[in-house]
Amino acid sequence: MSYDPDNIFAKILRGEIPSHKIYEDEHSLAFMDVMPQVDGHCLVIPKERFRGLLDADATVFVHMMPVVQKVAKAAVKAMAADGFQLRQYNEHAAGQTVFHLHFHILPMKEGVPLQPHTGKMVDHAGLAVMAQRIRSELT
């Protein structure tokens, strides 16, 4: 399957859809997931057009993984989490719903389960507050 330049993340990168940005550099963008499964659930995407891990040029990870690590550290601290999950899905059969390479960062607290993915967006004011908290922990 090919990359769809009209996927929601491509639209976010072009500024056609707003997002709650956490971090951005010339290669990557990190922002809040609008359908979070835990408080602080955020995403890191490359600015290059890749559908998933298998079609990505390996050099993208040289730039992207330090951003994933940086944002994960900040999200864990900002959410007072005990750890985090890092998730990455490839193709529909594996649970991928947006076909632009991305990593999910899910700050986890002991005894607090993930919420099911309902497909419903949460309150944007709350996401803005969480994004600010995470941004304030970036080093």
Q: Which residues are catalytic?
A: 102
pLDDT over 90 (residue 57): yes
* Residue 60 exposed, middle or buried by CB count within 10 Å (0-12, 13-18, 19+): middle
**Is there a contact between 84 and 108 (Cβ–Cβ < 8 Å)?**
yes
- Rounded to an integer, what distance in angstroms lies between the CA atom of residue 139 and that of residue 136? 8
Using CA atoms, how far apart are residues 91 and 50, in angstroms rounded to an integer? Answer: 12
For residue 93, pLDDT over 90 is answered with yes
Q: How confident is the model at residue 116 (pLDDT cuts 50, 70, 90)?
A: confident
- How many other β-carbons are positioned within 10 Å of the β-carbon of residue 117? 12
Q: If we measure between CA atoms, which residue out of 37, 16, 18, 14 comes closest to residue 97?
A: 37
Domains, the chain, ordered by start: 8-137 (3.30.428.10)
